[in-house]
Amino acid sequence: MIGLEEAEIERVFREVYGQAVATVTRTCGDLSAAEDAVQYAFAEAAERWPVDGVPPNPAGWIITVARNNAIDVHRRRRRGAEIAEAHLVGGSEEEGPVTDDILRLVFTCCHPSLAFEARVALTLRVVGGLSVADVARAFLVNEDAMAKRLVRAKYKIRAAGIPYRVPSSEELNDRLQSVLAVVYLIFNVGLDKPDQEVLRGQAIRMGRTLAFLMPDQPEVIGLLALMLLIEARVGSRFEGDTLVLLRDQDRTRWDRGLVIEGQDLVRACIRRGRPGPYQLQAAIQAVHCDADRFEDTDWDQIAILYDQLMVMAPTPVVALNRAVAIGETKGPLEALTAMDELSPTLDDYHLLASCRGVMLRRLGREEEAIEAFRRAHQLAPSDREKQLLERRIAGHE
């Protein structure tokens, strides 16, 4: 439309950037070249759309312009030589559960030969369409350092010959876990930094895409459900700069639409009968969201789910969450015993010290509780959590 606002172009950018890069990568066989071509296409859009109007199919317009640019650049570089057939006729179609371009791109960015932080950064930049500055901000590094990190990751993809494809059925499960871990970490970075809700939005969008393209993978559905159920409560987690505990949250502020959607997905997972860690975590969140008041929470069910999760993912953090559930079902003494067993592995984890303080206070051991809260305060990674612990030390929580 005439007079198109910059915000509208930005919205289109976020919606189609990953799909455009994915499709052009298949066309030209080079991730960096595909990114350059898509950037060129959006620069063209910024000049032409405000005058000519937004085309009926913005994604198709961007992909066509980007693909043509990639081919032209490749031809110039080859000085008019014939373009390699494997690159510009789209390559061979791999056999596997799915063949969508965006999935190819996600699995390429999340390849296990890349360092985990590189996978996350590359996925945010290439699939999510975040600027280098936005990605750098998420990692608390400067823009130049992040730009170099992304260049190194893309060079490794090219130099190591990492294939642009979806894994075969035999290797899909292991590779899928890497993808899901990247998406969930992106979500949690956005959760820990409430001013970066764009990260949560990108993670949920990727989760929806994966769920649409891989509907037979219950762990994909489970991760989407988990993120939706957590996102439903984000609006009540803070009062200004103050962190609000689940016990004290105003549940009327929870997003009931997201709760219902997440719970429906959990029920769909249960019907599959193929439980996994993300599904069990989503089920736990679904139980929390079922209660109108904290006092109505079905802690017995939550404890059972944590028992099952411990079998599949026996991590110290899961064990700590299970101990919290034990505190609600069997009392603080049993919970404290379980927490003390975790001290050797979680000694520097602020939430262990904080949870111990809660149980000690419930047992009337006030001096020990304050000592535990002070230890947690020393270890807490954010000012909001330190403020919460200061209130606990003062006896106000």
Same domain for 100 and 147?
Answer: yes
Residue 347 maps to a domain: no
Please count the structural domains in the chain.
2
pLDDT of residue 79: 52
pLDDT digits (tens, 9 = 90+) for 235-254: 898 887 788 889 999 999 99
pLDDT of residue 96: 39
Same domain for 150 and 172?
Answer: yes
Same domain for 46 and 118?
Answer: no
Residue 250 maps to a domain: no
140 strand-pairing partners: none
Q: Is the Cβ–Cβ distance between 358 and 339 less than 8 Å?
A: no
Q: 18-27, 34-43, 364-373: lowest mean pLDDT where?
A: 18-27
Q: Is the Cβ–Cβ distance between 86 and 41 less than 8 Å?
A: no
Is it the case that residue 89 has pLDDT exceeding 70? no
Residue 350 maps to a domain: no
Give the integer Cα–Cα distance in Å for 334 and 329. 10
- In angstroms, the Cα distances linking 329 to 78, 203, 306, 324, 356 are 70, 34, 13, 9, 16
- Enter the pTM of the model: 0.79
Element (H, E) at 238: strand 238-239
Is it the case that residue 213 has pLDDT exceeding 90? no
pLDDT of residue 81: 45
Residue 267 maps to a domain: no
Identify the residue with better confidence: 329 or 136: 329
Most trustworthy range by pLDDT among 30-34, 76-80, 156-160, 334-338: 334-338
Percent of the chain with pLDDT over 70: 90
Q: 159-168, 220-229, 269-278, 318-327: lowest mean pLDDT where?
A: 159-168
Residue 1 maps to a domain: yes
Element (H, E) at 242: strand 242-243
Domain boundary at 53, 83, 113, which?
83
Average the pLDDT over 81-96 and give the result.
41
pLDDT digits (tens, 9 = 90+) for 95-104: 333 347 878 8
Residue 67 maps to a domain: yes
Residue 63's pLDDT band (boundaries 50, 70, 90)? confident
Residue 162 maps to a domain: yes
Q: Is the Cβ–Cβ distance between 265 and 228 less than 8 Å?
A: yes
Identify the residue with better confidence: 214 or 173: 214
Helix, strand, or coil (residue 382): coil
Identify the residue with better confidence: 278 or 47: 278
Identify the residue with better confidence: 61 or 227: 227
Supply the range of the domain harboring residue 63: 1-83
Same domain for 177 and 105?
Answer: yes
Domain harbouring 164, CATH code: 1.10.10
Residue 73 maps to a domain: yes
Task: Measure the CA angle with vertex 116, ends 208 and 378; round to 5°.
Answer: 100
242 strand-pairing partners: 239
